[in-house]
């Protein structure tokens, strides 16, 4: 893939792109490349994948960035390849080998220990990560050889299943909540088996309601014209698929945009994706007092609309 250096005019782009990130580039690098291809004013990704990982990386453009947190918080699914018997400094294939142990357990042994990692579990985040301690990233301390305290955090693992077992390798399907480090999970499973382990490959297959089967690669995105790229964008409210839909009239939408509380339809309570005849209004909250805006989108039309 060629380096992109040409400056081009930015334009307003609103929507969500389901990108299938390839191995070898950072999440920010592919985000910036896609942002350049769309000539977008504003863009952000919804959950970092390490350079060695591939798979689904939803990108939010324009007004969709207001709702990116929904995808950052969403459940995710991965296919992970674990190499047992070798531990590395980083917990993945990039790190130097720091320990070796026998792999003298069976698939049945692996199946036996996996349930202890399902549910709410405590996980110590890796030193080689972007978490912060006293204003600096963990990995900065790791590179400097400085030890820092790392408190265990509760993470949610919904399910772990063995996809393939070819000792010393296992391929696992993992469904989990936000903040889960799959490389730490691999290390902990290795320790539970009396061995050690590290992650050699990772592919994200789902984020919230979205699956990698519906995603496009950066190479494919680069090969099509601007109109075809725009056609791939999901609407700005796509990250909010878990919220119920609420349709309101024009007067109610106007009141919301003006910061006023509007009368709520009978029985409406909680948060909604709100629409009027002109399209998506934003996220609103309804209770006995009425409807109020939580986060609204711009109402001015896109250029050329």
Query: Tens digits of per-residue pLDDT, 138-154?
Result: 566 556 666 766 678 89
Show Cβ contacts of residue 224 under 8 Å, excluding neighbours closer than 6 positions.
none
- Tell me the helix, strand and coil percentages in the chain, rounded to 5: 25, 35, 35
Tokens at residue 142, please? 């790791």
Query: Tens digits of per-residue pLDDT, 156-170?
Result: 999 999 999 999 999
The class of domain 76-207 in CATH terms is alpha beta
CATH of 15-74+209-238, one of 1.10.10.10, 3.30.2350.10, 1.25.40.10, 3.20.20.70: 3.30.2350.10
Beta strand 270-276 with 244-247 is parallel
DSSP letters spanning 224-246: S-HHHHHHTPBPTTGGGTTSEEE
If you average pLDDT over every residue of the chain, what do you get? 90
Type and span of the H or E element at 182: helix 182-192
Q: How far apart are CA 51 and CA 17, in angstroms?
A: 19
According to the model, what pLDDT value does residue 1 have?
44
Q: How far apart are CA 6 and CA 91, in angstroms?
A: 38
Ordered by start, the domain boundaries in the chain are 15-74+209-238, 76-207, 243-296
Q: How far apart are CA 185 and CA 207, in angstroms?
A: 19
Q: How far apart are CA 304 and CA 46, in angstroms?
A: 29
Q: How far apart are CA 22 and CA 57, in angstroms?
A: 10
What is the average pLDDT across 36-57?
Answer: 93
Query: Tens digits of per-residue pLDDT, 204-260?
Result: 999 999 999 999 999 999 999 999 999 999 999 999 999 999 999 999 999 999 999
Question: DSSP assignment, residue 272?
Answer: E
Residue with tokens 């018997």: 85
Show Cβ contacts of residue 87 under 8 Å, excluding neighbours closer than 6 positions.
97, 98, 99, 100, 101, 187, 190, 196, 197, 198
Q: How many residues does the chain have?
A: 305
Same fold? 15-74+209-238, 243-296: no
Q: How far apart are CA 273 and CA 237, in angstroms?
A: 8
Tokens at residue 89, please? 């400094």
Yes or no: say if 169 and 84 are a contact pair by the CB < 8 Å rule.
yes
Residues annotated catalytic, as ranges = 50
Yes or no: say if 79 and 173 are a contact pair by the CB < 8 Å rule.
yes
Residue 120 has pLDDT above 80, yes or no: yes
At 299, the pLDDT band (50, 70, 90 cuts) reads: confident
Query: Tens digits of per-residue pLDDT, 262-282?
Result: 998 888 899 999 999 879 999
At 30, the pLDDT band (50, 70, 90 cuts) reads: very high
Share of the chain above pLDDT 70, in %: 88
CATH 3.40.109.10 for domain 243-296, yes or no, is no
């Amino acid at each position: 893939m060629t380096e992109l250096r040409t400056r081009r005019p930015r334009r307003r782009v609103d929507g969500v792109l389901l990108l299938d990130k390839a191995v070898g580039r950072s999440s920010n690098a592919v985000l910036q490349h896609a942002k350049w291809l769309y000539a977008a004013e504003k863009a952000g990704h919804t959950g970092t994948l390490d350079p060695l990982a591939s798979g689904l990386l939803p990108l939010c453009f324009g007004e969709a960035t207001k709702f990116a947190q929904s995808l950052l918080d969403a459940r995710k699914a991965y296919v992970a390849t674990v190499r047992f018997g070798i531990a590395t400094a980083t917990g993945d294939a990039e790190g130097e080998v720091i320990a070796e142990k026998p792999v003298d357990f069976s698939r049945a042994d692996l199946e036996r220990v996996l349930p202890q990692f399902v549910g709410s579990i405590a996980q110590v985040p890796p030193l080689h990560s972007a978490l912060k301690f006293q204003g600096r990233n963990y990995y900065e301390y790791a590179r400097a050889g400085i030890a820092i305290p790392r408190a265990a955090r509760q993470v949610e693992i919904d399910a772990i299943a063995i996809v393939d077992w070819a000792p010393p390798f296992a391929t696992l399907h993992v469904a989990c909540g936000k903040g889960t480090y799959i490389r730490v999970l691999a290390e902990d499973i290795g320790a539970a088996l009396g061995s050690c382990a590290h992650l050699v490959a990772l592919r994200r297959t789902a984020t919230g309601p979205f699956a990698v089967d519906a995603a496009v690669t950066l190479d494919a995105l680069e090969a099509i014209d601007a109109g075809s790229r725009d056609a791939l964008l999901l609407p700005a409210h796509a990250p909010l698929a878990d919220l119920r839909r609420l349709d309101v009239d024009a007067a109610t939408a106007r009141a919301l945009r003006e910061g006023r509380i509007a009368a709520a339809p009978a029985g409406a309570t909680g948060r909604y994706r709100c629409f009027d005849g002109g399209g998506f209004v934003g996220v609103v909250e309804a209770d006995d007092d009425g409807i109020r805006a939580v986060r609204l989108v711009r109402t001015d039309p896109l250029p050329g609309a």
